[in-house]
Amino acid sequence: MNDLVQRAREAMRHAWAPYSNFHVGAAIESADGAVYVGCNVESASYGLTICAERMAIGAAVVGGARQLKRIVVTTDVDPPAAPCGACRQLLAEFGLGLEVTAVGPSTQKRWTLAALLPDAFTKETLDR
């Protein structure tokens, strides 16, 4: 876990957050142990902002990962911030059993994705 925290903090240092000054880093571990990172990138057109979690998911997919094991999200606030709703929804594509850890400067919180996104809209919903 410490490696994921370190990788997410390194990514957070590269965040582009000139509007909110809210820096976020993410590190995702795939089932095979590979790690993919992302940071938030803001835009003056706020709707175009990319969250760190979604950037890390994109990196994982580009890297060939299809099964994700866990994600660490780092912020510079305590208590640490959980992934936003859009990120939770995209993470759900890879399973509600995903372990989610949010890390601030001095505290951590942990959940499963199912706990953060109860009654999730998933591919099984479409199959009904």
Supply the CATH number for residue 16's domain: 3.40.140.10
Would you tell me how many other CB atoms lie within 10 Å of the CB of residue 33? 7
What pLDDT does residue 7 have? 98
Is this model's pTM higher than 0.85 or not? Answer: yes
Q: How far is residue 36's CA from residue 55's CA, in Å, rounded to a whole number? A: 9
Concerning whether 53 is annotated as a catalytic residue, the answer is yes
Query: Average pLDDT in the 57-85 region?
Result: 97
Identified catalytic residue from 10, 29, 42, 53 = 53
* Parallel, antiparallel or unpaired: strands 24-30 and 68-75: antiparallel
Residue 32 banded pLDDT, cuts 50, 70, 90: very high
- Two tokens at 23? 């820096």
How open is the CA angle 74-76-79, to the nearest 5 degrees? Answer: 80
Residue 127 banded pLDDT, cuts 50, 70, 90: confident
pLDDT surpasses 90 at 42? yes
How many domains, the chain?
Answer: 1
Query: Average pLDDT in the 31-36 region?
Result: 97
- Burial (Cβ within 10 Å: 0-12, 13-18, ≥19) of residue 29: buried
Expressed as residue numbers, the domain containing 72 is 2-126
* Per-chain mean pLDDT for the chain: 96
What pLDDT does residue 1 have? 72
Residue 124 banded pLDDT, cuts 50, 70, 90: confident
**Residue 8 phi, psi (nearest 5):** -65, -40
What pLDDT does residue 126 have? 87
